[in-house]
Amino acid sequence: MIYTVTFNPALDYVVWIDALRPGEINRTQSEAIQYGGKGINVSTVLSALGVENVALGFLAGFTGRALEEGLHNLGIRTDFIWLPEGLTRINVKVKGGAETEINGQGPTVGPTALRTLQDKLDRLEPGDILVISGSVPAALSHDVYEQILARLEDRGIQFVVDTTRNLLCSALPYHPFLIKPNNLELGEIFGKAPVTDTEIRHCAAQLQEKGARNVLVSMAGDGSLLVDERGGCHRLGVPKGKVRNSVGAGDSMVAGFLAGWLETGDYSYAHRLGTAAGSATAFSDGLADREKIMALLKTL
């Protein structure tokens, strides 16, 4: 079973307008409510690909109830922890020329709620996959990723970690099955953004030396590069299509990679399906569906 953890889920209120004009009334052309948070994005695309999973995280208030109901309507299993105060955040995504985002803070996650999450994760079994991704709410300790991984170490659980800089580096000693930095995040880690494939591969190899098993580096329109634990290096560009949305593309790539690897055990195929899933989301107004993903897979 795959479990995803989202520390700070969100209802994303997405609006499309001709152009954002600050200081004036802006009227929408269309609008939608989407269910956001990196782990939730992974769960959504996994479910679209027919891969069973459970979404965990923290919810609060009427916005949390709306998010949970929406995920259930999509057929996604959840096991959220309910907080006694606050509201699950609402993020506003404005699509008008350049993308503009206004992200809410979300409720406070206290130590009791964190212990409840740890108790749930203690029930994972050997062979399960745990996906932890995104930032950590301010109320939680900066080493919360490390706490979770240390608690589950040596239990045969596969870890997937998709986050930035210190959070990512602190996870490496626990030998995550997959990490997915982008090339800019590699620059934050190593002090200089890699440009060439050789430089990216060198950075990925250093992350493997520190403990990562498979390193998938996304590079937006320049494609992606995978260095796998068997010594293989896989390079893919992106399929043709018009970019409509940048939100969730990286999470979709993680979901596609996991779905492909679980299906075949082949890293090359997993990379291709991950690329197709990430691109399908980038070419959609929301997260990609199975039909779009499989159509793009045929072009890779």
Instruction: Compute how many other C-beta atoms are within 10 angstroms of the C-beta atom of residue 263.
Output: 14
Does residue 102 carry a pLDDT above 80? Answer: yes
For 23, residues 6+ apart whose C-beta sits below 8 A from its C-beta are none
How far apart CA 89 and CA 271 sit, in angstroms, is: 33
Does residue 138 carry a pLDDT above 90? Answer: no
**pLDDT, tens only, 255-288:** 999 999 999 999 999 999 999 999 999 999 889 9
At residue 263, the pLDDT reads 97
Residues 130, 12, 290, 164: is their CA dihedral positive or negative? negative
Give the mean model confidence (pLDDT) for residues 197-201.
94
Confirm whether 235 is domain-assigned: no
At residue 98, the pLDDT reads 78
Does residue 97 carry a pLDDT above 80? Answer: no
How far apart CA 52 and CA 38 sit, in angstroms, is: 17
Instruction: Say if residues 215 and 204 touch (Cβ distance below 8 Å).
Output: yes
Confirm whether 92 is domain-assigned: yes
Instruction: Say if residues 85 and 60 touch (Cβ distance below 8 Å).
Output: yes
Rounded to a whole number, what is the largest CA-CA distance in the chain?
57
How far apart CA 198 and CA 192 sit, in angstroms, is: 14
Give Cα separations from 26 to 14, 15, 55, 104, 134 (angstroms): 14, 10, 35, 20, 31
Residue 58, SS3 per DSSP: strand
Note down the domain range covering 11: 1-20+29-119+128-148
Give the mean model confidence (pLDDT) for residues 206-234.
95
Confirm whether 1 is domain-assigned: yes
Confirm whether 97 is domain-assigned: yes
How far apart CA 36 and CA 70 sit, in angstroms, is: 11
Give the chain's domain count.
1
Residues forming the active site: 251
Q: What is the DSSP string of 258-277?
A: HHHHHHH--HHHHHHHHHHH
Does residue 179 carry a pLDDT above 90? Answer: yes
The enclosing H or E element of 56 equals strand 53-59
Q: Which of 186, 184, 160 shows the shortest CA–CA distance to 274?
A: 160
Confirm whether 254 is domain-assigned: no
Confirm whether 11 is domain-assigned: yes
Confirm whether 44 is domain-assigned: yes
Distance of CA 138 to the CA centre of its chain: 19
The enclosing H or E element of 83 equals none
Q: Write the CATH number for 50.
A: 3.40.1190.20
Confirm whether 69 is domain-assigned: yes
